[in-house]
Amino acid sequence: MPANGSPGPDSVTRRGHGARERRAHLGAIEAIDPNRPGLKGLLCDIGPTQWATGFVAFLFGATGPLAIILSVGTAGGLSPQQLASIVFGVFFINGLLTLLMSWAYRQPLALFWTIPGTVLMGPALSHLSYAEVLGAFYATSLVVLALGWSGLAKRVLEFIPMPIVMGMVAGIFMKFGLDVVRSLHGDLAVAGSMVAVFLGLTAMPRAGRAMPPLIGALIAGGVVALANGKFAPGALGALQLVEPVFTMPAFSWRAMVELVVPLAITILLVQHGQGFAVLTQAGHRPPISAVTAAAGLGGLLSAMVGAVGTALTGPTNGLIVSAGPCERHYATAIATAVLAMAFGLVAPTFTQLMLSAPKELILTLGGLAMLRVLLGAFVTAFKGPLSFGAMTCFLVTVADMPVLNIGAAFWGLVAGLIVSVLTERGELAEHR
């Protein structure tokens, strides 16, 4: 330090460097995109393809996964008002979060609810009160928020090699491809017309640009289902806005032990592992820490109205990136979010409508949308190094046998890593 007591240049440099380091630590959260669009730019980027693909992504969540919520909640003794409140939480709150995150980072970042977490809720409600389950949801969301804010989530996720993660993704998404085949067997008229239109529009690029193959398949399936009377009568009742139900949580050790660890692992390693892998495969660089912290915040807000935790979803993001140029995928995610928010506001009305559609229509639509994502997962997992570990992960995931209340996808990652450490040590070190 100079004799006059003022700090010298080296001291200033060190202090400035230390301040930057502190900011970097506090900001394990990645900076938002400085080129995020204004309203005019956003409207220019949301075209027919974005709305069509966003609708398919929304439709996926508003049918099969929604049916899981209703089934689990009904079996757990929840009232229709509580179920509608849950639907409001998982669609409106998470839709708003998806809109803000996708706009801020100019990337498709669809944050909705964890389906495996919803499944875990079912057995828990048989011996825990609803308030105790909600207490576990709050605790899990706080853990996820802390992992994202601290940057630990990024370290954990970057530790797992991409081929092994994509082996898990392939194992999870394979059922969507198989659903197309099963739907053809179950309802040849509906599923067959959808597959025929999808392949026809895909084979003719000019026609496919005028009519996106997925939306063409949806129209064809809807027309055939209506003509054959496959929609349940009286599905659409009077328009009714949701009235959220706020339940005070209760915190018990038995609920924490049973639910918090499996839910946190499911959100961080399984759901986020899928979502980040799908987005990376599509050419994006998702902000891992920011997304994880946002999932924790979304889970806290969702728990206020009774809903399960928030996560970056694999299937929905896979549908979002399945069509259109990469630089406009964020607009597709925003279109999905807008539809989800509207659905959440009128949850009592449209829940029954969406569930009245023939299951073959929904299964075929989701399967067709996932085909290219599934192909990309197989190529990344098995084309290069670490293919033996990726195959092990794939097989354990496909077997779908949970252990300790934790789904098979997590154990697939564990098994794949162990096999690669034992048999592909050189390739693993080189890959890292």
Structure confidence at residue 391 (pLDDT): 94
Instruction: For the chain, give the mean pLDDT.
Output: 83
Residue 112, classified by CB atoms within 10 Å of its CB into exposed (0-12), middle (13-18) or buried (19+), is buried
Query: Among the listed ranges 14-18, 242-246, 285-289, 376-380, which one has the minimum average pLDDT value?
Result: 14-18
Alpha helices in 282-326 (DSSP H): 288-304, 314-320
88-116: average pLDDT: 93
Distances (CA, A) of 48 to 79, 113, 330: 39, 27, 14
Structure confidence at residue 353 (pLDDT): 63
Phi and psi of 273, rounded to 5°? Answer: -60, -45
384-412: average pLDDT: 85
Q: 363 is written with which tokens?
A: 């299964």
- The distance in angstroms from the start CA to the end CA of the chain is 43
100-121: average pLDDT: 88
| The pLDDT of residue 390 is above 80 | yes
Higher per-residue pLDDT: 421 or 366:
421
Question: Which H helix or E strand runs over 113?
Answer: strand 111-113
DSSP state of 307: P
Structure confidence at residue 330 (pLDDT): 95
How far is Cα 189 from Cα 338, in angstroms, rounded to an integer?
32
181-197: average pLDDT: 91
- For 35-88, what is each residue's pLDDT tens digit? 888 888 899 999 888 998 898 889 878 766 776 787 678 778 888 888 888 999
Structure confidence at residue 10 (pLDDT): 46
Higher per-residue pLDDT: 367 or 88:
88
How far is Cα 417 from Cα 153, in angstroms, rounded to an integer?
18
pTM: 0.72
Structure confidence at residue 62 (pLDDT): 79
Buried b vs exposed e over 210-237: b needs ≥16 C-beta within 10 Å? ebbbbbbbbebbbebbeeeebbeeeeee
Q: To the nearest whole percent, how much of the chain has pLDDT over 70? A: 88
DSSP state of 33: P
Q: In the structure, what pLDDT confidence band is assigned to residue 396 with cuts at 50, 70 and 90?
A: very high
Q: How many CB atoms lie within 10 A of CB 67?
A: 15
How far is Cα 329 from Cα 315, in angstroms, rounded to an integer?
15
Q: Which of 252, 277, 279 is nearest to 137 (CA)?
A: 252
- For 375-387, what is each residue's pLDDT tens digit? 878 888 888 888 8
| The pLDDT of residue 341 is above 90 | yes
Structure confidence at residue 349 (pLDDT): 74
Higher per-residue pLDDT: 349 or 368:
368
Q: In the structure, what pLDDT confidence band is assigned to residue 195 with cuts at 50, 70 and 90?
A: very high
Q: How many CB atoms lie within 10 A of CB 80?
A: 12
What is the amino acid identity at position 322? Answer: S
Distances (CA, A) of 228 to 105, 179, 194, 214, 376: 45, 21, 15, 21, 36
* Distance of alpha carbon 393 from the chain centroid: 20
Find which of 140-149, 173-182, 263-272 is predicted with most confidence, using mean pLDDT. 140-149
